[in-house]
Amino acid sequence: MRGDPVHRRCAVVTGGAGFIGSHLARRLLEEGYAVLCVDNLITGSRHNVAELPSIGPFRLIHADVTQQLRISADVDAVFHLASPASPTDYLRYPLETLAAGSAGTRNTLGLAREKQARYLLASTSEVYGSPGVHPQPESYWGHVNPIGPRSPYDEAKRFAEALVTAHRATHGTSTAIARIFNTYGPHMRPDDGRAVPTFITQALRGSALTLTGDGSQTRSLCYVDDLVEGLLTLHASAVPGPVNLGNPHEVSMRDLAALILRTTHSASPLTFTNRPEDDPDRRCPDIAYAREHLGWGPKVGLEEGLERTVAWFRSTIGTHAESAEAL
């Protein structure tokens, strides 16, 4: 189908101007798709997709997925990524986050059903909450505080998964659910509050790296190119999911900070502050199901991924980086 002049496949990517969405949109263009990016830009950025029209047929539609989507073109794939995703963002936009997971999921499922398109929901490891099982398999139901500070994001995604499952059972819609674990790479906002962009920005600026608690809490970090490959592989399959997509290599926040200091050649000190409420102690995916049913696993190691990410941040905040170290 690639390069077919008669019919070019078309993909709708909601949240396509965001961090993961912009990388996914680029890969879809490289695979021969026309891409319609739907984003209300409250956390996404036009800069993330500015170069995409030079790769292939790309259109940014400034719209909110909580409103009815009217798309006249034939659509082969719908990827629903629209939602604030970092704690900083969903604490600032709790109602918008809940609406993206509920009304936004309903509207995008309706579009997929209308167009008879394969649908993929970008869910999250946050559905496991502060897990009592480690690592977390898809069969684990989770340990979530439904009224805690993280609940707008956690519960929005849990509801979205239920809605996708019900839509598939009721209407026969071809759907897939990806549970995305912590992902990092270029296009992350320096101020989005997550550990990797925060530590890199602080290191390049010569500021103290801010760790919460004693830094012993862990995350499992997946480079964005690996994650996008997982999304495309899941979409191309008949697997409904949910499927964990992430890197099972676990790292403490203290060790992550040390690695970023080495990668940036920064002498920034560490400073410590209180842990946020309901912050999970450990987070690590069991990806046995993805390996068996999709043949997928991450390939980019943490050191290599951080080198790529730091290089991108240097180019983005170069004037600050120059004051932090000899480049």
CB half-sphere exposure, 248, CA atoms < 13 A: 14
Catalytic one of 33, 90, 93, 153: 153
Q: How far apart are CA 16 and CA 37, in angstroms?
A: 5
Beta-carbon contacts of residue 226 (< 8 Å; ≥ 6 apart): 247, 298, 299, 300
Euclidean distance between the first and the last CA atom of the chain, given in angstroms as a whole number: 45
Q: How many CB atoms within 10 Å of residue 300?
A: 19
User: What DSSP state is assigned to residue 49?
Assistant: G
Count of all residues that appear for the chain in the document? 327
Residue 164: phi, psi to the nearest 5? Answer: -60, -45
Q: How far apart are CA 202 and CA 264, in angstroms?
A: 10
Please say whether the beta carbons of 290 and 283 come within 8 A. Answer: no
Q: What is the DSSP string of 124-146?
A: EGGGGBS-SSSSB-TT---B--T
Catalytic: 153?
A: yes
Q: Which residues of 42-56 are buried (b: 16+ CB within 10 A; e: fewer)?
A: ebbeeebbeebeeeb
| Residue 158, token pair as written in the block | 């849990």
Beta-carbon contacts of residue 321 (< 8 Å; ≥ 6 apart): 204, 205, 313, 314, 327
Annotated catalytic sites, by residue?
Answer: 153
